[in-house]
Structure 1
Amino acid sequence: MTQKIYEKMHSIRTLTVIFFMSLSLITFSSGDLIDDICRKSSDFKVCTDSLRTDPKSSSADEKGLVRILLQQCLAKATSIYNEIVFLLKETKEPVLKQCLEVCKDNYDGAKDDVAATIKSFDANDFTEAISHASAVESGPIDCEESFTEPPVRKSPTKQKSNDLINFVGLTAGLIDCISKSCLS
Protein backbone atom coordinates (compact mmCIF):
# COMPACT_ATOMS: atom_id res chain seq x y z
CA MET A 1 0.00 0.00 0.00
CA THR A 2 2.79 2.37 0.86
CA GLN A 3 4.34 1.69 -2.53
CA LYS A 4 1.09 2.70 -4.34
CA ILE A 5 0.82 5.92 -2.33
CA TYR A 6 4.43 6.71 -3.13
CA GLU A 7 3.81 6.10 -6.86
CA LYS A 8 0.72 8.34 -6.86
CA MET A 9 2.59 11.08 -5.02
CA HIS A 10 5.44 10.79 -7.48
CA SER A 11 3.01 11.03 -10.42
CA ILE A 12 1.33 14.08 -8.92
CA ARG A 13 4.72 15.78 -8.39
CA THR A 14 5.76 14.96 -11.94
CA LEU A 15 2.54 16.39 -13.36
CA THR A 16 2.89 19.47 -11.18
CA VAL A 17 6.44 20.06 -12.42
CA ILE A 18 5.37 19.58 -16.05
CA PHE A 19 2.45 21.95 -15.54
CA PHE A 20 4.61 24.74 -14.09
CA MET A 21 7.30 24.25 -16.72
CA SER A 22 4.65 24.59 -19.45
CA LEU A 23 3.26 27.66 -17.76
CA SER A 24 6.70 29.27 -17.62
CA LEU A 25 7.24 28.63 -21.34
CA ILE A 26 3.99 30.37 -22.13
CA THR A 27 4.96 33.30 -19.94
CA PHE A 28 8.31 33.77 -21.66
CA SER A 29 6.96 33.77 -25.21
CA SER A 30 5.17 36.89 -26.35
CA GLY A 31 2.22 34.80 -27.45
CA ASP A 32 1.30 37.29 -30.16
CA LEU A 33 2.33 36.09 -33.60
CA ILE A 34 1.17 39.31 -35.25
CA ASP A 35 3.56 41.38 -33.12
CA ASP A 36 6.36 38.87 -33.66
CA ILE A 37 5.93 38.97 -37.45
CA CYS A 38 5.46 42.73 -37.66
CA ARG A 39 8.63 43.38 -35.66
CA LYS A 40 10.45 41.98 -38.71
CA SER A 41 8.66 44.38 -41.07
CA SER A 42 9.67 47.83 -42.23
CA ASP A 43 6.68 49.45 -40.47
CA PHE A 44 5.48 47.76 -37.28
CA LYS A 45 2.42 49.98 -36.81
CA VAL A 46 1.11 49.66 -40.36
CA CYS A 47 1.73 45.91 -40.27
CA THR A 48 -0.02 45.29 -36.95
CA ASP A 49 -2.90 47.66 -37.72
CA SER A 50 -3.46 45.95 -41.07
CA LEU A 51 -3.37 42.43 -39.70
CA ARG A 52 -5.54 43.20 -36.69
CA THR A 53 -8.33 44.46 -38.98
CA ASP A 54 -8.65 41.01 -40.55
CA PRO A 55 -10.51 38.46 -38.41
CA LYS A 56 -8.61 35.60 -40.09
CA SER A 57 -5.35 36.87 -38.58
CA SER A 58 -6.10 35.49 -35.14
CA SER A 59 -5.93 31.91 -36.40
CA ALA A 60 -3.28 32.30 -39.12
CA ASP A 61 0.28 31.04 -39.06
CA GLU A 62 3.23 33.11 -40.30
CA LYS A 63 2.64 32.34 -43.96
CA GLY A 64 -1.08 32.95 -43.51
CA LEU A 65 -0.42 36.40 -42.05
CA VAL A 66 1.77 37.36 -45.00
CA ARG A 67 -0.89 36.06 -47.37
CA ILE A 68 -3.43 38.30 -45.62
CA LEU A 69 -1.12 41.26 -46.27
CA LEU A 70 -0.90 40.23 -49.94
CA GLN A 71 -4.70 40.15 -50.13
CA GLN A 72 -4.72 43.64 -48.65
CA CYS A 73 -2.20 44.76 -51.31
CA LEU A 74 -4.61 43.52 -53.96
CA ALA A 75 -7.53 45.31 -52.31
CA LYS A 76 -5.55 48.56 -52.11
CA ALA A 77 -4.43 48.38 -55.75
CA THR A 78 -7.98 47.56 -56.87
CA SER A 79 -9.42 50.43 -54.83
CA ILE A 80 -6.99 52.94 -56.35
CA TYR A 81 -7.67 51.55 -59.83
CA ASN A 82 -11.43 52.00 -59.29
CA GLU A 83 -10.87 55.55 -58.05
CA ILE A 84 -8.85 56.34 -61.18
CA VAL A 85 -11.59 54.90 -63.43
CA PHE A 86 -14.13 57.10 -61.61
CA LEU A 87 -11.89 60.18 -61.94
CA LEU A 88 -11.41 59.51 -65.65
CA LYS A 89 -15.17 59.62 -66.16
CA GLU A 90 -15.47 62.89 -64.23
CA THR A 91 -12.43 64.72 -65.64
CA LYS A 92 -12.78 67.12 -68.54
CA GLU A 93 -9.25 68.59 -68.48
CA PRO A 94 -7.20 66.89 -71.26
CA VAL A 95 -3.78 66.79 -69.53
CA LEU A 96 -5.21 65.42 -66.29
CA LYS A 97 -7.19 62.88 -68.32
CA GLN A 98 -3.97 61.80 -70.08
CA CYS A 99 -2.19 61.35 -66.71
CA LEU A 100 -5.11 59.35 -65.37
CA GLU A 101 -5.04 57.09 -68.45
CA VAL A 102 -1.38 56.35 -67.69
CA CYS A 103 -2.35 55.60 -64.09
CA LYS A 104 -5.24 53.37 -65.15
CA ASP A 105 -2.92 51.27 -67.32
CA ASN A 106 -0.27 51.07 -64.60
CA TYR A 107 -2.71 50.13 -61.86
CA ASP A 108 -4.31 47.53 -64.10
CA GLY A 109 -0.84 46.00 -64.41
CA ALA A 110 -0.23 46.39 -60.66
CA LYS A 111 -3.38 44.37 -59.90
CA ASP A 112 -2.14 41.61 -62.21
CA ASP A 113 1.28 41.73 -60.54
CA VAL A 114 -0.25 41.36 -57.07
CA ALA A 115 -2.26 38.36 -58.29
CA ALA A 116 0.96 36.85 -59.70
CA THR A 117 2.71 37.57 -56.38
CA ILE A 118 0.00 35.69 -54.49
CA LYS A 119 0.16 32.76 -56.92
CA SER A 120 3.96 32.48 -56.58
CA PHE A 121 3.75 32.88 -52.80
CA ASP A 122 1.14 30.14 -52.52
CA ALA A 123 3.42 27.88 -54.59
CA ASN A 124 6.30 28.65 -52.18
CA ASP A 125 8.23 30.27 -55.04
CA PHE A 126 9.35 33.17 -52.87
CA THR A 127 11.97 34.49 -55.30
CA GLU A 128 9.33 34.85 -58.00
CA ALA A 129 6.87 36.34 -55.50
CA ILE A 130 9.40 39.02 -54.54
CA SER A 131 10.06 39.73 -58.22
CA HIS A 132 6.33 40.20 -58.88
CA ALA A 133 6.01 42.39 -55.77
CA SER A 134 8.75 44.65 -57.14
CA ALA A 135 6.77 44.94 -60.35
CA VAL A 136 3.71 45.99 -58.32
CA GLU A 137 5.63 48.98 -57.00
CA SER A 138 6.42 50.21 -60.51
CA GLY A 139 2.71 50.77 -61.25
CA PRO A 140 2.11 53.54 -58.71
CA ILE A 141 5.59 54.98 -59.31
CA ASP A 142 5.00 55.31 -63.06
CA CYS A 143 1.52 56.67 -62.40
CA GLU A 144 2.81 59.42 -60.13
CA GLU A 145 5.67 60.29 -62.48
CA SER A 146 3.14 61.07 -65.21
CA PHE A 147 1.93 64.02 -63.11
CA THR A 148 5.42 65.52 -62.90
CA GLU A 149 5.89 65.89 -66.65
CA PRO A 150 5.08 69.32 -68.09
CA PRO A 151 2.49 70.63 -67.83
CA VAL A 152 2.64 69.53 -64.22
CA ARG A 153 -0.62 68.53 -62.56
CA LYS A 154 -1.45 67.65 -58.95
CA SER A 155 -2.00 63.93 -58.59
CA PRO A 156 -5.30 63.01 -56.94
CA THR A 157 -3.85 59.61 -55.96
CA LYS A 158 -0.38 60.58 -54.71
CA GLN A 159 -0.88 59.71 -51.03
CA LYS A 160 -2.64 56.43 -51.77
CA SER A 161 0.04 55.50 -54.32
CA ASN A 162 2.79 56.21 -51.78
CA ASP A 163 0.94 54.17 -49.16
CA LEU A 164 0.63 51.25 -51.57
CA ILE A 165 4.34 51.43 -52.46
CA ASN A 166 5.26 51.30 -48.77
CA PHE A 167 2.76 48.52 -48.05
CA VAL A 168 4.03 46.38 -50.92
CA GLY A 169 7.61 46.97 -49.74
CA LEU A 170 6.67 45.91 -46.21
CA THR A 171 5.00 42.76 -47.52
CA ALA A 172 7.85 41.90 -49.91
CA GLY A 173 10.27 42.21 -46.99
CA LEU A 174 8.22 39.67 -45.03
CA ILE A 175 8.13 37.32 -48.04
CA ASP A 176 11.92 37.57 -48.13
CA CYS A 177 11.99 36.81 -44.39
CA ILE A 178 9.86 33.72 -44.91
CA SER A 179 12.18 32.56 -47.68
CA LYS A 180 15.11 32.86 -45.28
CA SER A 181 13.18 31.37 -42.34
CA CYS A 182 13.77 34.46 -40.23
CA LEU A 183 10.15 34.61 -39.03
CA SER A 184 10.30 31.33 -37.14
Structure 2
Amino acid sequence: MNHHLSPSISLLILIIITTSISSFNISHASIESTCMTATKTSPNVNYDFCLTALESNPKSHSADTKGLAIISTELTSTNATSTKAKIEVMLHHAKDQAIKSILKTCADVYSEMMDNLKFSMDALEGGRYADAVTYLSAALTEPGTCEDSFSEKGVNSLVAQEDKDALDLSAMALAITSSLG
Protein backbone atom coordinates (compact mmCIF):
# COMPACT_ATOMS: atom_id res chain seq x y z
CA MET A 1 0.00 0.00 0.00
CA ASN A 2 1.41 3.36 -1.04
CA HIS A 3 1.02 6.13 1.60
CA HIS A 4 2.40 8.97 -0.48
CA LEU A 5 0.17 11.83 -1.55
CA SER A 6 0.28 12.96 -5.12
CA PRO A 7 1.90 16.37 -5.64
CA SER A 8 -1.42 17.90 -6.71
CA ILE A 9 -3.19 16.68 -3.53
CA SER A 10 -0.30 17.99 -1.39
CA LEU A 11 -0.49 21.34 -3.15
CA LEU A 12 -4.27 21.49 -2.65
CA ILE A 13 -3.92 20.77 1.07
CA LEU A 14 -1.22 23.43 1.37
CA ILE A 15 -3.43 25.98 -0.40
CA ILE A 16 -6.40 25.19 1.84
CA ILE A 17 -4.32 25.52 5.01
CA THR A 18 -2.68 28.75 3.85
CA THR A 19 -6.02 30.24 2.81
CA SER A 20 -7.60 29.28 6.13
CA ILE A 21 -4.77 30.87 8.10
CA SER A 22 -4.74 34.05 6.04
CA SER A 23 -8.55 34.28 6.21
CA PHE A 24 -8.38 34.15 9.98
CA ASN A 25 -5.70 36.85 10.03
CA ILE A 26 -7.66 39.04 7.62
CA SER A 27 -10.88 38.70 9.62
CA HIS A 28 -9.07 39.34 12.89
CA ALA A 29 -7.49 42.40 11.30
CA SER A 30 -10.98 43.32 10.13
CA ILE A 31 -12.25 43.23 13.73
CA GLU A 32 -9.30 45.34 14.83
CA SER A 33 -9.64 47.83 11.98
CA THR A 34 -13.41 48.02 12.42
CA CYS A 35 -13.00 48.79 16.13
CA MET A 36 -10.25 51.30 15.35
CA THR A 37 -12.52 53.07 12.85
CA ALA A 38 -15.40 53.01 15.34
CA THR A 39 -13.27 54.63 18.05
CA LYS A 40 -12.06 57.31 15.64
CA THR A 41 -15.59 58.18 14.51
CA SER A 42 -17.27 58.04 17.92
CA PRO A 43 -15.92 59.30 21.23
CA ASN A 44 -18.37 56.90 22.93
CA VAL A 45 -16.66 53.74 21.63
CA ASN A 46 -13.81 52.18 23.62
CA TYR A 47 -11.42 50.16 21.45
CA ASP A 48 -10.79 47.37 23.98
CA PHE A 49 -14.51 47.06 24.75
CA CYS A 50 -15.27 46.85 21.01
CA LEU A 51 -12.61 44.21 20.42
CA THR A 52 -13.68 42.09 23.40
CA ALA A 53 -17.38 42.36 22.54
CA LEU A 54 -16.95 41.41 18.88
CA GLU A 55 -14.47 38.63 19.60
CA SER A 56 -16.98 37.10 22.04
CA ASN A 57 -19.00 36.00 19.00
CA PRO A 58 -17.29 33.22 17.00
CA LYS A 59 -18.98 34.44 13.79
CA SER A 60 -17.10 37.74 13.99
CA HIS A 61 -13.83 36.12 12.94
CA SER A 62 -15.17 35.47 9.44
CA ALA A 63 -17.48 38.50 9.19
CA ASP A 64 -17.08 41.52 6.97
CA THR A 65 -17.98 45.00 8.23
CA LYS A 66 -21.70 44.49 7.55
CA GLY A 67 -21.51 41.20 9.45
CA LEU A 68 -19.79 42.95 12.35
CA ALA A 69 -22.53 45.61 12.34
CA ILE A 70 -25.14 42.85 12.54
CA ILE A 71 -23.22 41.05 15.31
CA SER A 72 -22.83 44.26 17.33
CA THR A 73 -26.55 44.97 16.94
CA GLU A 74 -27.35 41.40 18.05
CA LEU A 75 -25.10 41.84 21.11
CA THR A 76 -26.90 45.08 21.94
CA SER A 77 -30.28 43.40 21.52
CA THR A 78 -29.28 40.51 23.79
CA ASN A 79 -28.13 43.01 26.42
CA ALA A 80 -31.36 45.03 26.16
CA THR A 81 -33.49 41.88 26.48
CA SER A 82 -31.54 40.74 29.54
CA THR A 83 -31.69 44.19 31.15
CA LYS A 84 -35.43 44.48 30.57
CA ALA A 85 -35.96 41.05 32.17
CA LYS A 86 -33.92 42.12 35.21
CA ILE A 87 -35.90 45.37 35.49
CA GLU A 88 -39.19 43.46 35.31
CA VAL A 89 -38.11 41.15 38.15
CA MET A 90 -37.15 44.17 40.27
CA LEU A 91 -40.44 45.86 39.36
CA HIS A 92 -42.38 42.79 40.47
CA HIS A 93 -40.62 42.80 43.87
CA ALA A 94 -40.50 46.58 44.45
CA LYS A 95 -42.57 47.93 47.34
CA ASP A 96 -41.78 51.65 47.09
CA GLN A 97 -44.02 53.54 44.63
CA ALA A 98 -41.21 55.88 43.53
CA ILE A 99 -38.97 52.91 42.70
CA LYS A 100 -41.86 51.19 40.91
CA SER A 101 -42.44 54.30 38.82
CA ILE A 102 -38.77 54.53 37.87
CA LEU A 103 -38.55 50.84 37.04
CA LYS A 104 -41.73 51.07 34.95
CA THR A 105 -40.14 53.91 32.97
CA CYS A 106 -36.98 51.85 32.49
CA ALA A 107 -38.96 48.78 31.39
CA ASP A 108 -40.82 50.92 28.83
CA VAL A 109 -37.56 52.48 27.65
CA TYR A 110 -35.94 49.07 27.14
CA SER A 111 -39.03 47.87 25.25
CA GLU A 112 -38.58 50.83 22.90
CA MET A 113 -34.88 50.06 22.63
CA MET A 114 -35.63 46.45 21.69
CA ASP A 115 -38.07 47.63 19.01
CA ASN A 116 -35.50 50.06 17.60
CA LEU A 117 -32.86 47.33 17.55
CA LYS A 118 -35.22 44.96 15.72
CA PHE A 119 -36.00 47.66 13.13
CA SER A 120 -32.28 48.38 12.83
CA MET A 121 -31.50 44.70 12.27
CA ASP A 122 -34.16 44.47 9.56
CA ALA A 123 -32.74 47.59 7.88
CA LEU A 124 -29.16 46.28 8.13
CA GLU A 125 -30.05 42.93 6.63
CA GLY A 126 -31.91 44.74 3.83
CA GLY A 127 -28.96 47.01 3.08
CA ARG A 128 -30.83 50.14 4.24
CA TYR A 129 -27.94 51.52 6.26
CA ALA A 130 -29.31 55.04 6.75
CA ASP A 131 -32.47 53.56 8.30
CA ALA A 132 -30.37 51.28 10.50
CA VAL A 133 -28.38 54.30 11.70
CA THR A 134 -31.62 56.15 12.52
CA TYR A 135 -32.93 53.26 14.62
CA LEU A 136 -29.58 52.71 16.34
CA SER A 137 -29.39 56.43 17.15
CA ALA A 138 -32.79 56.15 18.84
CA ALA A 139 -31.68 53.02 20.73
CA LEU A 140 -28.56 54.84 21.94
CA THR A 141 -30.66 57.36 23.89
CA GLU A 142 -32.68 54.79 25.85
CA PRO A 143 -30.18 53.75 28.57
CA GLY A 144 -29.64 57.43 29.43
CA THR A 145 -33.38 57.92 29.77
CA CYS A 146 -33.50 55.07 32.29
CA GLU A 147 -30.57 56.55 34.24
CA ASP A 148 -32.20 60.01 34.20
CA SER A 149 -35.34 58.50 35.75
CA PHE A 150 -33.31 57.49 38.79
CA SER A 151 -31.37 60.74 39.12
CA GLU A 152 -34.49 62.92 38.72
CA LYS A 153 -35.94 61.22 41.82
CA GLY A 154 -32.64 61.42 43.71
CA VAL A 155 -32.36 57.63 43.79
CA ASN A 156 -29.20 55.61 43.11
CA SER A 157 -29.64 53.62 39.92
CA LEU A 158 -30.43 49.95 40.36
CA VAL A 159 -29.25 49.20 36.81
CA ALA A 160 -26.28 51.54 36.37
CA GLN A 161 -23.93 48.86 35.01
CA GLU A 162 -26.60 47.45 32.69
CA ASP A 163 -27.35 50.95 31.38
CA LYS A 164 -23.62 51.59 30.83
CA ASP A 165 -23.23 48.29 28.97
CA ALA A 166 -26.29 49.06 26.84
CA LEU A 167 -24.92 52.50 26.04
CA ASP A 168 -21.46 51.12 25.16
CA LEU A 169 -22.92 48.38 22.95
CA SER A 170 -25.32 50.79 21.24
CA ALA A 171 -22.54 53.28 20.55
CA MET A 172 -20.40 50.50 19.08
CA ALA A 173 -23.22 49.19 16.87
CA LEU A 174 -24.03 52.71 15.70
CA ALA A 175 -20.41 53.56 14.87
CA ILE A 176 -19.86 50.32 12.95
CA THR A 177 -23.15 50.66 11.07
CA SER A 178 -22.40 54.30 10.26
CA SER A 179 -19.18 53.19 8.55
CA LEU A 180 -21.19 51.18 6.01
CA GLY A 181 -22.18 54.32 4.16
Which TM-score applies when normalising by structure 2? 0.78
Q: Which amino acid aligns with 1:175?
A: T
CA contact (8 A) 2:129 2:178 kept: yes
1:45 matched residue in structure 2: 48
1:120 matched residue in structure 2: 123
Question: Does the residue aligned with 2:151 lie in a helix, a strand or coil?
Answer: coil
Which TM-score applies when normalising by structure 1? 0.77
Q: 1:89 aligns with which of 89, 92, 97?
A: 92
Matches within 5 A, 1:31-110: 31=26, 32=28, 33-42=30-39, 43-110=46-113
1:169 partnered with 2:166 = no
1:130 matched residue in structure 2: 133
Q: Give every structure 1 segment of 4 or more consecutive aligned residues whose post-TM-superposition deviation is greater than 3 Å.
A: none
CA distance in 1, matches of 2:73, 2:101: 30
Question: Does the residue aligned with 1:124 lie in a helix, a strand or coil?
Answer: coil
CA distance in 2, matches of 1:69, 1:149: 31
CA distance in 2, matches of 1:122, 1:154: 39
1:75-116 deviations in Å (ceiling 9; x for gaps)? 011111001001011111111111000101111111001101
Q: Say what the alpha-carbon RMSD is for the aligned residues.
A: 2.0
CA contact (8 A) 2:147 2:157 kept: yes
Paired residues in the alignment total: 153
Q: 1:156 aligns with which of 144, 155, 158?
A: 158
Same amino acid, percent of matched pairs: 25
1:143 partnered with 2:146 = yes
Q: Which amino acid aligns with 1:103?
A: C
CA contact (8 A) 2:60 2:71 kept: yes
CA contact (8 A) 2:72 2:172 kept: no
CA contact (8 A) 2:106 2:146 kept: yes
Question: Does the residue aligned with 2:38 lie in a helix, a strand or coil?
Answer: coil
- The structure with the larger Rg is 1
